[in-house]
């Protein structure tokens, strides 16, 4: 008898999470009240509290869904490229992300700065998200014959590019990180890749469209 209602609950949940993603990511968690979330999602406060018993629960759900989406978007971009360029494709994906209109840095780092010292669950989800990214990158690097240390170095470059791009308001750090990654990959790619030829010329500029 409640078939239609259950579906409604799920679309309500999706709409709330959509609004949370846009508002929490775009303006911060503490500055966005439940009332604004209600009007943005069109879901009544009662339903909202049925779905998420407290704002903290909603924040956690927001972070977990963002983690899944972010990693899926990255993987769907990277995994369709030829195996030899997948590691560098990570930085191409970053460049495209940095250029999006609503880019405002890493939602997890922002949330961690805001609530990490107060909320253990925020700190934990953030840690998990970063570890998952590092492991994904390590898998790509290992598949290219690179060492775990190389993977850690590239992860630091990516991390630095994210925050630098957010603060500077420019996607350029992704290019710089990519150029540095080429240098670090040099010995790895050197065996049979033509990319290695420019490994001693750090200033590699490419047109935005090309990858």
Partner DNA sequence: CCACTCGGAGAACGATCGTTCTTAGCTCTG
Partner DNA sequence: CAGAGCTAAGAACGATCGTTCTCCGAGTGG
Query: Residue numbers of the site for a copy of itself (CB under 8 A)?
Result: 26-28, 30-31, 104-105, 109-118, 123, 126-127, 130, 147, 149-150, 152-153, 155-161, 163-164, 166-168, 173, 176-177, 179-180, 183-184, 187, 200, 202-203
- Tell the smallest beta-carbon distance from residue 166 to a copy of itself (Å): 8
C-alpha closest to that of 71 among 116, 106, 45: 106
Strands (E), 120-211: none
144 versus 176: smaller Cβ distance to a copy of itself: 176
* Residue 160 partner contact from DNA, a copy of itself, none using kind-dependent CB cut-offs of 5 to 8 Å: a copy of itself
CA distances from 61 to 67, 70, 121, 125, 126 (A): 10, 14, 11, 10, 12
- Tell the smallest beta-carbon distance from residue 188 to a copy of itself (Å): 10
47 versus 64: smaller Cβ distance to DNA: 47
45 binds DNA per the rule CB under 7 A? yes
The secondary structure of residue 52, as a DSSP letter, is: -
Extract the tokens encoding 111.
Answer: 């949330």
Question: What's the rounded Cα separation, in Å, for the pair 165 and 88?
Answer: 18
* Residue 119 partner contact from DNA, a copy of itself, none using kind-dependent CB cut-offs of 5 to 8 Å: none
Question: What's the rounded Cα separation, in Å, for the pair 61 and 152?
Answer: 28
Q: Is 201 exposed, middle or buried (0-12, 13-18, 19+ CB in 10 A)?
A: exposed
User: Which range, of 24-32, 86-94, 146-154, 170-178, touches DNA by CB under 7 A?
Assistant: 24-32
Longest Cα–Cα distance of the chain, Å, equals: 69
Tell which positions 47-106 bind DNA, by CB under 7 A: 47, 49, 53-56
5 versus 205: smaller Cβ distance to DNA: 5
Give the residues lining the site for DNA (CB under 7 A): 1, 5, 12, 30-35, 42-47, 49, 53-56
């Amino acid at each position: 008898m409640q078939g239609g209602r259950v579906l409604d609950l799920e679309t309500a949940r999706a709409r709330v999470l959509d609004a949370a993603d846009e508002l929490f990511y775009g303006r911060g968690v503490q500055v966005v009240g439940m009332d604004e979330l209600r009007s943005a999602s069109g879901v009544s406060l009662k339903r909202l509290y049925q779905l998420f018993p407290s704002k903290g629960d909603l924040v956690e759900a927001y972070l977990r869904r963002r983690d899944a989406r972010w990693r899926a978007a990255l993987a769907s971009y990277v995994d369709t490229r030829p195996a030899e360029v997948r590691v560098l494709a990570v930085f191409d994906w970053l460049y495209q992300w940095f250029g999006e209109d609503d880019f405002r840095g890493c939602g997890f780092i922002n949330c961690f700065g805001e609530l990490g010292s107060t909320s253990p669950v925020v700190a934990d989800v953030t840690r998990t998200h970063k570890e998952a990214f590092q492991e994904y990158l390590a898998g790509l690097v290992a598949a290219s014959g690179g060492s775990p240390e190389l993977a850690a170095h590239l992860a630091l470059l990516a991390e630095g590019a994210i925050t630098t791009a957010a603060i500077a308001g420019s996607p350029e750090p992704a290019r710089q990180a990519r150029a540095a990654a080429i240098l670090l990959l040099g010995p790895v790619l050197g065996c049979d890749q033509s990319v290695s030829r420019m490994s001693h010329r750090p200033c590699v500029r490419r047109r935005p469209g090309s990858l």
